[in-house]
Amino acid sequence: MHDQYDVVIIGAGFTGLTAALDLARAGRKVLVLEKDSSPGGLAGTFEFKDGVTVEKFYHHWFNNDDYIPEIARELGVENLIVTQPSRTGMYFNGRLWRLSTPLDLLKFTPLSILDRIRLGLLVFKVRKIRDWKTIEHLSIREWLEPLCGKNVFKIVWQPLIESKFSVYADAVNAVWFWKKLVLRGSTRDKQGGEQLAYFRGGFGRLAQYMSDAISASGGEIRYGVDVSGANIEDGKIQSLKTSGGDISARQFLFTPSFPIIANILDQVANPAWLESLRRVNYLGNMCLVLQLDRSLSDTYWLNVNDPGFPFVGVIEHTNFDPPENYHGKHLVFISRYLATQDPVWSYSDDEYLDFAIKHLQRMFPAMERSWIQDAKVWRAEYAQPVTERDYSKYVPSADTPFSNAMISTMAQIYPEDRGTNYAVREGRSAAVKINELLA
């Protein structure tokens, strides 16, 4: 198969879909290649046995995200974005604590009154930082502990950072945490509660709307296609080697994680550039999605701060988007970040389910296995880029050794963290550059 396209995009996550949509609307002949069977990437959806659809990995938007609503408006589906308050909490020392409002914070007795005040003032201190590069050389601990005190850091932040970044907890730079606090602080309503947004029917539904719009604009998406290499001539990629044959184009955009791109171009790119891609470390994520016949608690997002538990969070999705939208079932995401060398990564689905239930029953003693109507374990090998000290100095740019190829991945969204909102922003930026090159 020898096809000629203006642009071939590898990956049908939100970056690839956005770039494809803008380029197709500009009249370019666009092809998107996706290894999976559906669009959305890490924000893709699946069906339980009874037909209930939900994300493979938990997702929501913040009420100050701009780029996603813009796409939804263009597609005429903005009415499917639902914004509502969320209930957040913390599991610490064998107890669930509500932490949705400033009043909840004042009731958090594991911290002294002084430490509670320090924790409450942290967001205001963080907002004073205007130039993130001034703290990029510091680890989260080095930057945060002097701001909030050792006890606040030990009880509130250290367990979350260690659960989130596993073996890299002491290597992640302060910018990652700074940006999180700044963004979260700006999503609060007048009462101090947090407003979050969700796309009715799941993010995969929005990805499908985008896919349909690409097709309607003359673009093409092929699913189940594995890209394994490239043919090079005169410093350009002439075609990609795929499971469907060679595919040619004038321009190429790679959106998967750096290690995947490095593997595709391993035989044709210079070793120094390949090494720069592989320099960025990633953590995997194991996400157990449970379908229950009843609720575990009334909390949407439960941070697990107790070091005796192996999860970063228990996210009861139907405490945010109600059970009526899921055949009356209650949906819970159990998230664990880990290095893929961790023995837990190799657990079978049944082994991991048993492992998780054992710990959930410690958190929720009334829980019985019979509550589980269905369960699915999802794994993402490159779920979280690790932004180490001075990350901006070593993260690869959009350029490649080939004059007609560029990359745009979630590891380049920095200083923001990965997410669909910023993926849309990066996809639009890539489309502008590619359009200029094709002119």
Run of H or E including 432: helix 420-438
**How many other CB atoms are found less than 10 A from the CB of residue 388?**
20
Closest listed residue to residue 380, CA positions, set 255, 302, 288:
288
Domains observed in the chain: 3-59+202-281+390-438 (3.50.50.60), 101-193 (no CATH), 196-200+282-385 (3.90.660.20)
Q: What is the pLDDT of residue 180?
A: 87
**How many other CB atoms are found less than 10 A from the CB of residue 155?**
18
Q: What is the pLDDT of residue 435?
A: 97
Q: Give, rounded to a whole angstrom, the gap between the first and last alpha carbons of the chain.
A: 26
* Token pair listed for 181: 């606090």
* Token pair listed for 68: 């996603």
Distance CA 39, CA 234 (A): 33
Distance CA 121, CA 157 (A): 15
Distance CA 62, CA 186 (A): 9
Q: What pTM does this model have?
A: 0.94
Q: What is the pLDDT of residue 188?
A: 59
pLDDT in tens, the chain (439 residues): 445 899 999 999 999 999 999 999 999 999 999 999 999 999 999 999 999 999 999 999 988 899 999 999 999 999 999 998 889 999 998 899 998 888 888 899 999 999 999 998 998 898 889 999 999 999 999 999 999 999 999 999 999 999 999 999 999 999 999 998 887 666 656 666 778 999 999 999 999 999 999 999 999 999 999 999 999 999 999 999 999 999 999 999 999 999 999 999 999 999 999 999 999 999 999 999 999 999 999 999 999 998 889 999 999 999 999 999 999 999 999 999 999 999 999 999 999 999 999 999 999 999 999 999 999 999 999 999 999 999 999 999 999 999 999 999 999 999 998 899 999 999 999 999 999 999 8
- The neighbouring-strand residues paired with 304 are 91
Output phi, psi for 89, to 5 deg.
-160, -175
The answer to whether 99 and 105 have CB atoms below 8 angstroms apart is yes
Chain mean position to CA 241: 28
Residue with tokens 């200083």: 415
**How many other CB atoms are found less than 10 A from the CB of residue 260?**
19
Extract the runs of DSSP E, i.e. beta strands, from 16-87.
Answer: 30-34, 45-47, 53-55, 61-62, 81-85
